[in-house]
Amino acid sequence: MTVGVAGGPLAERAQWALATARLDDFQPLLPAEEEVVARLLSGNYDRLGDGSRPQSPDPARVIRASFLRFLMLGGQEGCRPHEKGIRITGAWISEVLDLEACVVFRDIGLIDCHFESTPILRAAIINRLFLDGSSLPGLQAERLEARGGVYLRGAEVQGEVNISQARLGGNLECDGATIRTSRGYALDARATELRNLLLRGATLRGGVTVAGARMAADLDCAGAVIEAAESAAIDAAEAEHGGSVVLRQARISGEVKLVAAVIGGDLDCSGTVVEHPGMMALDISRTAVTGAFFMRGGAKISGALALTGASIGTIHDEAASWPAHGDLLLNRCRYGAFIAAPVDAASRLDWLSRQAPERWGEDFWPQPYEQLASVFREMGHSEDARSVLIVKEKLQRRARRARARNPLWRAMLRVNDNFLAVTVVYGRQPLLAFLWLILFWVIGVGVFGVAEAGGAFKPNSAVVLRSPEWTLCAVPASEQRPFGAPPVAMSGRAAPGQTQLACYREQAEASSYPVFNPLFYSLDTLLPVLDLGQKSFWRPHPINRSGVVAINYFYFQAIVGWALSLLAVAGFSGLVKSP
């Protein structure tokens, strides 16, 4: 990023300061200041004492902040800073370094220094700022503009670092830094434009906010220890990341908020531990992750993990890193595939079961099940997809029954749902209806076969039933019955112990009547679309117990046949599935 210095209040203030300050104003110079002036033109004045950060105001290392400001703004003839800028190591800086609204054309390097007061760079325009290894009570740099970056690597800050609304052409690097504050955020970079924010191995008590920031590359907190004070541990809501958000091996106490963010790379939570029990721990709601979401390698989320409305390229996780039951929110979350992760119905149903919609004021979320089934199908796991949808139907129907206020209606819904579950598994396995048809067909073969063997069937023809061949077979051969008009006494035809049906079959006239077949009779009774002729010619005759059973089963099987046939058709067409 190139920052130009045009005419205006900032440039006017810098020029005014340059015109009014004189070296004589700082006389007598302190020993460290004399050393700095003596080495100005050589550019080799970067070390005071042994170069380490001073622990006390050693007179040989004390420099006044006002004197540094004089040099940074250009000094005077014969006392100009080197083209490299101001580079001092190991100084004890007294007073307040106030560069608010100033323009500094060269680098500012105050490395391993101790600041008595918080440096102020609000609305300043600078090249680069190096505060590596320094000790500061804070840093106020709101609306700072820098051609390069700001560096606090290994620094110790006992207060807020505020660089909100800044514009950096390079990175904000805080690798290994320790920043502590008792209120607000330890690092405030809201609405800042920069390339990378690096917090690798840093320790922040008070958290960090980059809400609304725009990063060309990464937010990297690998190995960091971050603890919230009053707000979230990490607030990156509505931030744009051209690269990745890396939380790998970080230890975080408090909420990590990535709501409505845009992540052009990966969201890497490998080995990350987020502690916020009973509250929201990691919130990725409405976030778009172009790459992968990693949550494995010992990652642990103690608290809720919200992916509501998120869009994720691929998920790389493991069961050991999933949140506890009731702490997962997946409603409207979309993702493309599972990579190096459990890809089976049993595992992923356990994953989905960790949701608790009732905790968030809802009764059921069907979309996570539909999304999982869709991903399974795209990955070639059709059976797993069906298993997921069956569970979804069961839970969704349970939620519907729970919403019903009328007990009678609730009972009717229960009967209907149980019937659909047993017969066609809520329409997800319509072929099961054919298995039920086969079962009832076999039962019918047995019932009708036993009834027929016991003579409990009769011709289904009024002509035959009035004929002497059938009528006289009900009379023993030793007896006579009147038959015909006028009545004529005729001898019976049934042998001792012979059933009417068995007797009829021995009559010559019965040879032309269709033969009873229990296999086809049961099939003819069961399937309404078939007409095999058996049902048209034979009917159960309730003359004994087997006949009573057969006639009742006859009606029952006819109803079952219609119901199962319709359910099979409805199952294949999707009519019985939940919308």
pLDDT tens per residue, range 523-552: 888 887 777 878 888 889 888 888 899 889
With a pLDDT cut of 70, the percent of the chain lying above it is 93
- The listed range with the strongest mean pLDDT (290-304, 413-427, 457-471) is 290-304
C-alpha–C-alpha distance, residues 442 and 554, integer Å = 13
Query: Is pLDDT above 70 for 404?
Result: yes
Please state the φ and ψ torsions of residue 384, each to the nearest 5 degrees: -65, -40
CB atoms within 10 A of CB 313: 18
Supply the pLDDT for residue 427: 67
Specify whether the CB–CB gap between 173 and 150 falls below 8 A.
yes
Q: Which of 60-74, 172-186, 240-254, 389-403 has the lowest mean pLDDT?
A: 389-403
Query: Is pLDDT above 80 for 567?
Result: no
Query: Which of 296, 295, 301, 305 minimizes the C-alpha distance to 273?
Result: 301
CB atoms within 10 A of CB 362: 12
Supply the pLDDT for residue 572: 67
Supply the pLDDT for residue 373: 95
What confidence tier does 324 reach under pLDDT thresholds 50, 70, 90? very high
The CB-side HSE value for 392 (13 A sphere, CA atoms) comes to 24
What confidence tier does 19 reach under pLDDT thresholds 50, 70, 90? very low
Rounded mean pLDDT, 547-559: 88
Which string of b and e fits 232-263 if b means at least 16 CB within 10 Å? bbbbbbbbbbebbbbbbbbbbbbbbbbbbbbb
What confidence tier does 7 reach under pLDDT thresholds 50, 70, 90? very low
Supply the pLDDT for residue 334: 97
Query: Is pLDDT above 80 for 363?
Result: yes
What confidence tier does 14 reach under pLDDT thresholds 50, 70, 90? very low
Rounded mean pLDDT, 128-142: 97
Q: pLDDT tens-digit profile of 84-107?
A: 788 899 999 999 999 999 999 889
**524 compared with 328, residue with greater pLDDT:** 328
What confidence tier does 17 reach under pLDDT thresholds 50, 70, 90? very low
Rounded mean pLDDT, 344-367: 94
DSSP letter string, 470-522: HHGGGSBTT-EEEETTTTEEEE--BPTT--HHHHHHTSGGGGGSPPP-HHHHH
Supply the pLDDT for residue 18: 47
What confidence tier does 11 reach under pLDDT thresholds 50, 70, 90? very low
Q: List the beta bridge partners of residue 490.
A: 481
Supply the pLDDT for residue 8: 47
With a pLDDT cut of 90, the percent of the chain lying above it is 54
Q: pLDDT tens-digit profile of 211-233?
A: 999 999 999 999 999 999 888 99
- The angle subtended at Cα 104 by Cα 100 and Cα 106, nearest 5°, is 150
What confidence tier does 514 reach under pLDDT thresholds 50, 70, 90? confident
Supply the pLDDT for residue 138: 97
Domain map (residue ranges) of the chain:
8-137, 432-570
Q: Which of 80-89, 419-428, 448-457, 505-514 has the lowest mean pLDDT?
A: 419-428
